[in-house]
Structure 1
Amino acid sequence: MNLMIRTICTAVVLAAWASGLALAAEAGLGEPIVPVAVTASSTQTASKAPGNLIDGSGLSETSPSSGVWVHNSNAYREKGVERGTMWSSGAAGGKTETKPTITFDLGKERTVGSFRVWNYNEARWTPLGFKEVEVSSSLDGEKFEPVGTAVFEQAPGDDDYEGQTVSFKQAVQARYIRLHCLTNWQGERSGLAEIRFYPGGAGGVDAIAPGVKPAVKARQREPNIPNPPRPALAGAENVVFPPDSGIIDVTAAPYNAKGDGVADDTKAIQAALNDYPNAGAIIYLPNGTYVISKTLRWPQGRGGGSEYKRTVLQGQSRAGTIIRLKDACPGYTDAAAPKEMVWTGGAPAQRFRNAIRNCTWDTGKGNPGAVGVRFNASNVGCLREVDIRSGDGSGVIGLDMAYTDEIGPCFVKHVGVTGFDTGVATKFGVNSITFEHITLRGQRQVGWHNNGQAITVRGLASENAVTAIRQDQWGGLFTLIDSKLTGTGDASALPGVRLLAGCMFARNVTVTGYASAIQKETKAGSEIVPGPLVGEWVSTRLPGSGPASLGLPVKETPDVPWDDPKDWAVITQFGAKMDGRSDDSDALQQAIDSGKTTVCLPRGSVTIKKPLVLRGKVRRLIGCEASLRFPTPMTGAANIFTVGESTEPVLVVERLTSWFWDNKAGLNFIDNPTRRTLVLKELGDVDDTSDQHPNGRGTLITGPGELFVEDVTGRFHLMPGARAWMRQMNPETNQDRRNTQLEAQWHLINEGGQLWILGIKTEGPGPVIITRGGGRTELLGGLMYSSGGARTQDQPAFIFEDSQGSATITEMNFSNNAYKTLVLLKRQGQTAFELKPR
């Protein structure tokens, strides 16, 4: 698997132009010219033929009649079908051609006013795209006259790419249009994805074949104005946003969901989802009861199954926003044919940044075939502050994370399940899931069924007359700490945990009302672990292991109050353009210095070219799924973001993503030289590590302020004295197969600090954690996906040099290149212990 996160601006990104041509940010261009033929001076392969430029392959409309067309990032596949979707140059004159020429035949003489171009958009290969381009025209295909020169923007390598419009300063009469690539974005050859030509000028509009969709037009970031917030529920959180935050309110036009507990709101909510596939949109449900009668499905979009990502369903409060299934609803009455209330995408592991927050899912009554929530997210994604309940106790599964392979890594926190045959179901060997503060009550068969997944749980409270946890697949690892399993009724004859296969680590688990705390069953017999307190127990202990885990002190992740919208500073109010090109740094710093306590980056792309200081009254920097771009080198500071002094003791930075391939700042992402507590949540790629930056250093953490991390991708390097508590970490190395040296390949480094981790998933070569210089590291649960992106694992998985540490983890490898050394212990430069796999 190639696990990557990429988000882009939903508005058209503008470029600089030279003589003869101009940009149009919005293209009200009418119908495209058809038919068109094309030839190229060279072609790489048959699947990269020039015909891919004019046949619409890889293009799709974001929603019916929206007029917004986007190109996918797969050059070889469209909507599940193997076919080429882009063109790239091949050999000419004995060498690969980087300055090719492509010629378009418009069928007859036409008046041409503009064209829309989608540059080469294959993920990881966007440098092949045209950059400086010479445009010329001809009536006969022999004599070409110059029209002008242009600079094509580099494509993002994303499935949400809207391209750009090139408008001629004066319309031309031509049958042939030629593009000559003068330079590209430093690729080894050159390519494009798609081109459409449009009529224009005083010469009139050409006849157009019927049935062709309108030209691309820029999509608005805010299609509706949220209704005034509904009243807060007494005693509940009140998650509300300002009107210019970019959220999509399902109760506002054009969706007009009622939320009155009577009307069927299925179509309204689904329409809102469908309008924003893979768009980083927050679909917002104010307090109310939303009745549904069919499955709510994450939007497929254009990718034929490669979408279902970057979508957030957000309620106003956990107790106040209720999605309820109709009683005795058709399709949900057969327990042998389970059907879910909400479905968030299947394999592969590309479901980046999916989330469901602050709401309740109620399966109603008379729906024995109901599944509450089928949730899937990859790398960064969360289920937070959610209740899943059966109206009458029946139903198949409450939280189903076993319905497809490759779920995770992701984070589930503050979730309760009441009723159902099974409370939580997890399955398959990749990619690990981390849970914290989970409540299970009233299940009829088992509280939690794990069938092979790497599961890490802290703070499970189960109250059931059935076994709380059952694991029955060899690859599973269940890490359980700080939990309480309470048996009622018939539970007195059952074990609290039944371990049929796989491994388990349990610490500080109280088990009452059961015959035993844990029952491990093997061919040789059963091992019984008595209750009521399991201080620490491990099913499989490796040679050389100490008597117990390190037991570092555990702290809860702190939070700050959710501010009233009047106390928010939205960066567009301070001049941020969020067009993917203009520098938004000054606007963001002005918002920070405005005296407001929450600073908001709306949905879209924020370009930062100057270092910033998070100071003053700011206690929350939140992106409404905004993406950050760092396109140019920065000077004047050591960090892109530096935490400044403030009367606010805690600073939360959350719901932002960046793309480490585009991080050209050359600075550390964030550091906190103050005594404030820094909390990072739902952040993507806080790193500059990739094939293009093979020695990226990760994010340096110096202290003295404490650091808390939840649901973040990126590498971290703790310096002496730093203290960090991390939950659901996903550090990935650059996967550069040419360089597997230690200085280039590592996931986390603790150099004299204190590091506690609940759940990790790593990918790529190099050590999982290096601890040295007196550092102390404790890792509780997770997955080493050692075959992902790694040619070989030349380095040990864990290195301890004059330091202390303990780790509970499993490894999954499909390439016969697993870690050759699991643990390397050094004292004063000498190897004291080396653990090899059995």
Structure 2
Amino acid sequence: MIKLLCLAVCCLLCAIALPSCLWASVSSSATTNVVYPADANMVNVRNYGVKGDGTTDDTAAIRAAVQENLTKHRTLLFPAGTYIVSDAIAWKGKDDLFGAFLTWQGEGTSKTIIKLKDNSDGFNDPSQPKPIVRPGSLETGGNGAGNRAHNNYIFDMTFDIGKGNPGAIGVDFNASNTGAMENVVIVSGDGKGAVGLDLTREVGPCLIKNVTIKGFDIGIRVASALYSITLENIHLENQNVVGIQNKDNVLAIRKLTSINSVPALNNGGDWPGPSVLIDSELKGGDAEAIAIENSSHILVRNVSVEGYKAAIKSGDKLVTGPQVEEFVSASPISLFKSRQKTLNLPIEETPQFNDNNLNNWANVEAYGAKRDDEQDDSDGIQKAIDSGKTTVYFPWGYYDLKKPVIVRGNVRRIVGFFSFLRPAKVLLRFENNDHPVILERFNFEGGAIEHAAAQPVVVRHSNPLFLTASQTATWFLEDVVTSRLNISKGTRVYARQLNCESPPPEPLVNNDGGFVWLLGYKTEFGNTVAATRGGGKTEILGGLFYPAQGVNDPKIPVLLNQDASVSAVYREIAFGPTYTIQVEETRKGETKTLRRDALSKGNMIPMPLYVGVEP
């Protein structure tokens, strides 16, 4: 009785102390309450006759909502409810071609549920699996495969394939350059089903974060040599064949929790990796099963294994558990005497902030900004920033800023719902000195943001240019596409799914004395993808470097290391003129290079681990 009383008192004190707004460093897929203002200019699917009452078949009405809003950068809001479907919902227009630039937004994984009817026609054959939902690549037919699945997003909802649907796929996702699935649960009512999350149609780069999958033969299925996928905070449970099956892709995985008697990861294919798995727990197991089966290239670091015969089987190598500190499937490559392990830089979690009290939200239009009128909105936006509210939001539309807006004061989160900010100039200057600020879901038409703050700036699901004025700036980037990053001494960057695209000759990431940690990094054009100088530190965990426009200067290396510390796991792939030099490293005036033809020939070069560490 005394223990129960103490527990009750502790819970009461926590409830009193816990405000409706909450900072957090780690988020979970089990989002229970997601709140957005009614005037955010999202598109409510109920306007199309969608019921979400757990009884009505909403398939046709959801399709109508999708068709009407494809390629418009709009967000479809699915209010709390159970939405019954009986057939696949492809993100296609009335012309039967796939569109893109669409977001599905729920109100939490316990509240917004897309549920397939039990024993639905067409979902009973695992050899011909069929999805509940299928985003695709712009202006494609067939199954929507391709590399133009831009800005496809799914947030805060559950997909339930019900019972008696062994041929069902929960979500057959596709996104390109920017796109994500975040805070999503995918479940099977009876444990059966072909695939929970299918990522096989030239998917990526994209971010899969805070996703839970329960049941299915395969939890996550990945295929295609292009374009790389970043996964973080993934929970897999009770798969029948394998947790993650990867054929040919480059995966960057962090914080995978697998509770299974089957292998957690099978990494193979005809294109030899490499993939990365770090900071993960693989539990359950079977006395005869291997936790990680590898027939390609893989880096495994800080992974605990419980209940399996062994942690890793890679070729003829067998690695036992219970803890894998660091394993590389092939010998690391160094040009000078160096440690033979990754830099293993200290990782910080991306700051999170949610305020469910809508009285603390400021609509920029309530302070004088007006979308779509091509007039200067700077003053109205500045007034909203200075209102004292914790969260500032832009109802979807186009906003013009003729002068920079200063981000300061009490604001902690700025949400755009994929609004457009223009023109191409410095649009936002961050001067937040008391707490981090999060900027998310914006389209920049060439505009830049400037970091002049003492506290971190978080940028998510956006495409700005970046400027740094602070000597101690910290950036957190998630699902970001930009031209290039310039990092100076004292600056720190933590990026999860970064895509840099800009013509040569300047490096895409130029780190002069700073700190750069990249989990999932994709590039195009024939630039140096990362130049590290002046004692800087750069760690790349899962890169896909694709000079689609060709490499015109044979002296340009993939990586440049000048008296600095670099470790990198990546694939360089090309179908035309490509890099001659993979790595150029200089120590105390002496320069050495690693040529591409010293590693392999053909379209693809895997780098299982390059290490060049300053003595």
Q: TM-score, normalised by structure 1?
A: 0.64
Deviations 1:388-431 (A, max 9, x none): 011101110000001x2x21000000101111110000011111
Aligned to 2:580, the other structure's residue is in SS state coil
Aligned to 1:344: 135
CA–CA separation in structure 1 for the residues paired with 2:378 and 2:72: 23
Aligned to 1:529: 319
Deviations 1:447-478 (A, max 9, x none): 11101001110001111111111122132322
CA–CA separation in structure 2 for the residues paired with 1:727 and 1:301: 35
Aligned to 1:478: 275
Contact in 1 for aligned 2:351/2:436 (Cα 8 Å): yes
Paired positions, count = 556
Contact in 2 for aligned 1:792/1:818 (Cα 8 Å): no
Q: Does 1:657 align with 2:443?
A: yes
CA–CA separation in structure 2 for the residues paired with 1:397 and 1:803: 44
CA–CA separation in structure 2 for the residues paired with 1:359 and 1:787: 36
Aligned to 2:604: none
Which residue, out of 671, 675, 680, partners 2:459?
680
Task: Please tell me the residue identity of whatever aligns with 1:706.
Answer: T
Change (3 A) 1:793 1:763: farther
Q: Does 1:758 align with 2:549?
A: no
Contact in 1 for aligned 2:66/2:93 (Cα 8 Å): no
CA–CA separation in structure 2 for the residues paired with 1:834 and 1:301: 54
Aligned to 1:520: 314
Contact in 2 for aligned 1:617/1:646 (Cα 8 Å): no
CA–CA separation in structure 2 for the residues paired with 1:241 and 1:499: 43
Which residue, out of 47, 51, 70, partners 1:258?
51
Which residue, out of 340, 343, 354, partners 1:561?
354
Structure 2 unaligned regions, length at least 5 = 1-29, 137-143, 600-615
CA–CA separation in structure 1 for the residues paired with 2:190 and 2:508: 47
Task: Please tell me the residue identity of whatever aligns with 2:586.
Answer: K
Q: Does 1:410 align with 2:215?
A: no
CA–CA separation in structure 1 for the residues paired with 2:518 and 2:79: 35
Contact in 2 for aligned 1:280/1:625 (Cα 8 Å): yes
Aligned to 1:323: 114
CA–CA separation in structure 2 for the residues paired with 1:786 and 1:511: 38
CA–CA separation in structure 2 for the residues paired with 1:503 and 1:309: 33
Aligned to 2:584: 824
CA–CA separation in structure 2 for the residues paired with 1:299 and 1:243: 27
Aligned to 1:401: 199
Deviations 1:461-507 (A, max 9, x none): 1111111111221323220000111233xx2112111112x210110
1:701 Cα deviation (Å)?
6.1
Which residue, out of 530, 538, 543, partners 2:328?
538
Aligned to 1:487: 284
Contact in 2 for aligned 1:277/1:301 (Cα 8 Å): no
CA–CA separation in structure 1 for the residues paired with 2:502 and 2:277: 28
Aligned to 1:365: 163
Aligned to 1:716: 485
* Mapping for residues 682-697 of structure 1, pairs under 5 Å: 682-684=461-463, 686-687=464-465
Aligned to 2:497: 728
Change (3 A) 1:827 1:338: same
Deviations 1:708-739 (A, max 9, x none): 111101121111101121110001123xxxxx
Task: Please tell me the residue identity of whatever aligns with 2:494.
Answer: W
Aligned to 2:139: none
Task: Please tell me the residue identity of whatever aligns with 1:731.
Answer: C
Aligned to 2:379, the other structure's residue is in SS state helix
1:333 Cα deviation (Å)?
1.6
Q: TM-score, normalised by structure 2?
A: 0.87
Task: Please tell me the residue identity of whatever aligns with 1:640.
Answer: L
Aligned to 1:498, the other structure's residue is in SS state strand
Decide which structure has the larger Cα Rg and report it.
1
Which residue, out of 12, 25, 40, partners 1:245?
40
Aligned to 1:784: 545
* Mapping for residues 91-130 of structure 1, pairs under 5 Å: none
1:653 Cα deviation (Å)?
0.4
Aligned to 1:317, the other structure's residue is in SS state coil
Contact in 1 for aligned 2:126/2:194 (Cα 8 Å): yes
RCO comparison, higher one (Cα < 8 Å, 6+):
2
Which residue, out of 208, 216, 228, partners 1:432?
228
Deviations 1:622-677 (A, max 9, x none): 1011111115xx6xxxx432112454x120001001233xx5xxxxx223322222
- Tell me the percent identity: 37
1:791 Cα deviation (Å)?
4.3
CA–CA separation in structure 2 for the residues paired with 1:370 and 1:679: 37
Aligned to 1:492, the other structure's residue is in SS state coil
* Mapping for residues 275-286 of structure 1, pairs under 5 Å: 275-286=68-79
CA–CA separation in structure 2 for the residues paired with 1:394 and 1:416: 16
Aligned to 1:423: 219
Aligned to 2:387: 594
Aligned to 2:124, the other structure's residue is in SS state coil
Change (3 A) 1:820 1:604: same
1:268 Cα deviation (Å)?
2.3
Contact in 1 for aligned 2:453/2:470 (Cα 8 Å): no
Which stretch shows the higher mean deviation, 583-592 or 784-793?
784-793
Which residue, out of 518, 531, 538, partners 1:770?
531
Task: Please tell me the residue identity of whatever aligns with 2:135.
Answer: T
CA–CA separation in structure 2 for the residues paired with 1:762 and 1:580: 36
CA–CA separation in structure 1 for the residues paired with 2:186 and 2:450: 38
Aligned to 1:644: 431
1:778 Cα deviation (Å)?
0.9
Deviations 1:117-143 (A, max 9, x none): xxxxxxxxxxxxxxxxxxxxxxxxxxx
1:564 Cα deviation (Å)?
2.7
CA–CA separation in structure 2 for the residues paired with 1:813 and 1:278: 29
Task: Please tell me the residue identity of whatever aligns with 1:334.
Answer: D
Aligned to 1:628: 421
Aligned to 1:822, the other structure's residue is in SS state strand
Contact in 1 for aligned 2:452/2:468 (Cα 8 Å): no
CA–CA separation in structure 1 for the residues paired with 2:239 and 2:318: 24
Deviations 1:132-177 (A, max 9, x none): xxxxxxxxxxxxxxxxxxxxxxxxxxxxxxxxxxxxxxxxxxxxxx
1:580 Cα deviation (Å)?
6.1
CA–CA separation in structure 1 for the residues paired with 2:376 and 2:135: 35
Q: Does 1:267 align with 2:73?
A: no
Task: Please tell me the residue identity of whatever aligns with 1:273.
Answer: V
Aligned to 1:797: 558
Aligned to 2:12: none
Contact in 1 for aligned 2:551/2:579 (Cα 8 Å): no
1:789 Cα deviation (Å)?
5.3
Q: Does 1:387 align with 2:189?
A: no
1:236 Cα deviation (Å)?
4.5
Aligned to 1:105: none
Contact in 2 for aligned 1:419/1:441 (Cα 8 Å): yes
CA–CA separation in structure 1 for the residues paired with 2:422 and 2:427: 11
Contact in 1 for aligned 2:274/2:570 (Cα 8 Å): yes
Deviations 1:516-572 (A, max 9, x none): 111112xxxx21122111111111234326311111101111111234332222222
Contact in 2 for aligned 1:700/1:716 (Cα 8 Å): no
Change (3 A) 1:472 1:827: closer
Contact in 1 for aligned 2:178/2:206 (Cα 8 Å): yes
